[in-house]
Structure 1
Amino acid sequence: MLDVLADRTYRHLFAAQVVALLGTGLATVALGLLAFDLAGDNAAMVLGTVFTIKMVAYVGIAPIAGAFANRVPRRAFLVALDLVRAAVALCLPFVTDIWQVYILIFVLQSASAAFTPTFQATIPDVLPDEARYTRALSLSRLAYDLENIVSPMLAGLLLAVTSYNSLFFGTMIGFAASAALVLSIMLPSPKPSKPRGIYDRTTGGIRIYLATPRLRGLLALNMAAAAAGAMVLVNSVALVRGTLGLDASALAWTLLAFGAGSMIAALLLPQMLDRVSDRPVMVGGAILMVLTLLGLAGAIATLGLVWPMLLGAWFFVGLGYSAVLTPSGRLLRRSAHAEDRPALFAAQFALSHACWLLTYPLSGWLMTRYGPVAALGVLAVLAAMGLLAALRLWPSNDPETMEHTHDNLPLDHPHLQGTRRHTHHFVVDEHHPPMGVTAVEVVSGRHNRNSINTG
């Protein structure tokens, strides 16, 4: 897996991701302490609003930013966004009112909503080989999981010798270092093949996403991952501190069990995906999450909750969670031309966070109102619905290339090269709309006539 770090461009991008994640983790800890200072007993309400603002920015800003990401040099775009985030982090220690926090967080998360999908869309251009790109995806998943472990530890060490405001300066340093690392390399900036209007640029990524069956399946699997993930991230504190009556260190170990499962899956996936296609791996991960949530609900209902049981359940949820999310970049890479990838990754970013915008409050409300068994059961059902939708929306025979005809184009059109029937890597684009063109899909040597939107 580490062989991909031999590529200097990717190595700098990965380092930029790691330092930015560490800075974000420090800011998460500092925000909780800042909210308590400003709001006292209402700190939870303030933080809830902050997380809602974050999700609204992600869902609303990402598609707009993705529409313009290929209109400017990609390196300059990413560096500018990192500097905006660093400037906001530098302002946070000086706020005196809660409304100031809300405005700064909206600006920070809007910049992140533009930065993250553009950054993710750059990696397949830097690593065009799918096997190397798969290993980069696993490294990225590991970076996210390790950040959840390292950032709280680093914050604890810093808080032992300084105030929480210094954590925001650590965040600023992380974003500034990320900008410097991106600035130190040259990045590809694919340009659109022809000018597009604002509507096409803004909605193009989502239209391609929703017109591509494998990506509709991915959206359904995102809902399954969000349902299981919200149960872990929102309700672990209530289960560990409230139901079990354990201390804060037990909560850390409980979340570590989830992270450990995710990391082990990320380590195993590159070799697995060399032999098995994405669909069975991702569907298997969703099945594992559903069965684990249902099994834990049944165990609590009959035996009561014990800590080893919770640790084991969260470990298996982490395995399934990573198995669903890690390969998603491969599907996005396969489903668009390089010039459309920023918009498509932005669509994935927005739509997946829309799932979290539903499951975060639902998970907390179910746990508070009805207890752990009901919360686990309802979220398991929601995850199962996502799984079943994915099985229906994502065809099991999902080839990368398709033989198809173009009755809608003149024979002298440059795309046809003198023949109406041809075979190539198939994506939804201006020459291959989601409906209205006949395609012949080649599967195991058999010709099966399908609409183009099966592809």
Structure 2
Amino acid sequence: MRLFAIRDYRYLFSAQIIALFGTGLATVALGLLAYELAGPRAAAVLATALTIKMVLYVVIAPLAAAYVDRLPRRAFLITLDVVRAAVVLALPFVTEVWQIYVLIGLLQSASAAFTPTFQAVIPDIVTDKAAYTRALSASQVAYTMESLISPVLAAVALSFMTFNWLFLGTSAGFVTSALLVMATHIPNARPSAHAKAWDRAAAGIKTFARTPRLRGIMALNLVVAAAGSIVIVNTVNYVRDELGGSQSDVAWMFAASGAGTLLSALALPRVLDRIPERAVMMTGAAVLVAGTLAALTLNAAGLLTWAATAITWAVIGSGMAMIVTPTGRVLRASVESNRIPEVFAAQFSLSHLAWLVTYPIAGWLGTNSGLTLTWSVLAILALAGAAGAFFLWPRDDRHDAVTTAAAHPRQVPEVNTLTETEVDEGILAAGQCACVRIS
């Protein structure tokens, strides 16, 4: 079956593309808005806004995943897109910092509910196994390309317009996404494996707590968040204040990190055919620790120039991809098919919980105590996460699976023979779960 011959999938994929690139522009614009309102304290403002996002993602996403099979999904997705469009459209008119926090709270509440609902729709639209595999791959390409292309588009746009127009583009993207969803037929959701909503919300967390390799994933989430916070939170102030760059330069520096992510993502599928996920992800953790230490050392020595910053940011982006991309494979291999949404929703919340810890450190501590101390703390957290993952995730993954299966029969399938569908499904889920953009 030809994937794009499926009308409903074609519409949903188009909606995903448009919304992704719109929110990529908003990521850049929000940082510049914070700089306009707060100047040297922009990192603290941005950290607060992103902390609000993380709190809402941690709280709302599991509840949305728990109740999604009880809602009219098509109408729900349209409503959430309209809410997001209205909120983003209001951001250019903000004159006080507190107004950013209120609007970001509304925006991220809608996004936290939208993501798990949208994820659950695709397998109901694309029912053919081979076509579903291609759908997952296509979606992952979209996520990966957005991290590189959106900052570049923002950099080009900022060369002849102010950043406020980027919010207008994001709002238009959400409206277009809503119209495309409106034109799509979305079937009713299938019942969850759990009858009670609380059981659904807690089931994935319990699986993480009792599965050694998933506890390792939780530790790796901290590594990703510690290194990634340097890029997400501190780039605006560093480029504008330390390097004397322009708004467009901020976007290009984000693009450097996206380039590192893209290059790793393109190379990893073949690597993962030959090397176990644990080895790849532990290597990614080492790369991220090295990236944070490089940023810290070069900054303390006054050597973090344009070129050095771009290279360091690209290294961090590459290390993040090495951890994020294989994560879904590990999750998918840990549970039965009807429990997949639970562990994906749990990873979505747990990964954002790690960002909830690191965002305030990068922003608030960075503003009040300087980058040297801040990046020292983040480097220590990255190192602690890497060490924790190494000891929590046994090298003998087969033994881990056997142990878990014995304790919880019918829950854990074999992990040593992933099919192509499972691989692609995992890659997409990882990209969705670990997404650190505005939506």
TM-score normalized with structure 1 length: 0.75
Moved more, 282-291 or 304-313: 304-313
TM-aligned CA distance change 1:6 to 1:307, over 3 Å: farther
Tell me the CA shift for residue 269 of structure 1.
Answer: 1.9
Moved more, 25-34 or 344-353: 25-34
Q: Where does residue 214 of structure 1 map in the other structure?
A: 213
Answer 1 or 2: which has greater helix percent: 2
- One of 130, 149, 152 as aligned partner of 2:152: 149
Q: Where does residue 413 of structure 1 map in the other structure?
A: none
Tell me the CA shift for residue 386 of structure 1.
Answer: 0.8
Give CA-to-partner distance per residue, 1:181-207, whole Å, 9 cap, x none.
334445566523666223213322322
Give CA-to-partner distance per residue, 1:231-279, whole Å, 9 cap, x none.
1222234443434445555444333221111111122122222333322
The equivalences for 1:54-453 within 5 A come to: 54-90=53-89, 102-123=101-122, 126=126, 132=134, 133=136, 136-154=139-157, 157=160, 159=162, 164=164, 167-186=166-185, 191-192=190-191, 196-301=195-300, 304-368=303-367, 371-399=370-398, 402=402, 426=412
TM-aligned CA distance change 1:389 to 1:11, over 3 Å: farther
Moved more, 106-115 or 175-184: 175-184
Q: Tell me the distance in 2 between the aligned counterparts of 1:229 and 1:252.
A: 16
TM-aligned CA distance change 1:75 to 1:181, over 3 Å: same
Which sections of structure 2, spanning at least 5 residues, go unmatched?
418-439
Moved more, 228-237 or 9-18: 9-18
Residue 327 of structure 1 aligns to a residue whose secondary structure is helix
Tell me the CA shift for residue 357 of structure 1.
Answer: 1.6
TM-aligned CA distance change 1:339 to 1:81, over 3 Å: farther
Contact 2:334 2:415 in 1 (8 A): no
Q: Tell me the distance in 2 between the aligned counterparts of 1:195 and 1:230.
A: 35
Letter in 1 for 2:285: A
CA RMSD of aligned residues (A): 4.0
Q: How many percent of aligned residue pairs carry the same amino acid?
A: 46
Q: Tell me the distance in 2 between the aligned counterparts of 1:139 and 1:295.
A: 30
Letter in 2 for 1:137: Q
Which sections of structure 1, spanning at least 5 residues, go unmatched?
409-421, 428-440, 445-455
TM-aligned CA distance change 1:10 to 1:263, over 3 Å: farther
TM-aligned CA distance change 1:95 to 1:224, over 3 Å: closer
Q: Where does residue 437 of structure 1 map in the other structure?
A: none
TM-aligned CA distance change 1:64 to 1:20, over 3 Å: same
Tell me the CA shift for residue 84 of structure 1.
Answer: 2.9
Q: Tell me the distance in 2 between the aligned counterparts of 1:366 and 1:41.
A: 13
Q: What number of residue pairs does the alignment pair up?
A: 411
Q: Tell me the distance in 2 between the aligned counterparts of 1:41 and 1:402.
A: 53
TM-aligned CA distance change 1:387 to 1:7, over 3 Å: farther
Q: Where does residue 433 of structure 2 map in the other structure?
A: none
Tell me the CA shift for residue 402 of structure 1.
Answer: 5.0
Answer 1 or 2: which has greater strand percent: 1
Moved more, 270-279 or 380-389: 270-279
Q: Which has the higher contact order (CA 8 A, sep 6+)?
A: 2
Contact 1:63 1:205 in 2 (8 A): no
Residue 397 of structure 2 aligns to a residue whose secondary structure is coil
Letter in 2 for 1:143: E
Moved more, 334-343 or 271-280: 334-343
Tell me the CA shift for residue 32 of structure 1.
Answer: 6.2
Q: Where does residue 425 of structure 2 map in the other structure?
A: none
TM-aligned CA distance change 1:73 to 1:217, over 3 Å: farther
Tell me the CA shift for residue 180 of structure 1.
Answer: 3.2
Q: Tell me the distance in 1 between the aligned counterparts of 2:174 and 2:334.
A: 31
Tell me the CA shift for residue 378 of structure 1.
Answer: 2.8
Letter in 2 for 1:149: V
Contact 2:193 2:338 in 1 (8 A): no
Letter in 1 for 2:266: L
Q: Where does residue 19 of structure 1 map in the other structure?
A: 18
TM-aligned CA distance change 1:235 to 1:182, over 3 Å: same
Contact 2:44 2:367 in 1 (8 A): no
Contact 2:24 2:147 in 1 (8 A): no
Structure of higher CA gyration radius: 1
TM-aligned CA distance change 1:290 to 1:148, over 3 Å: same
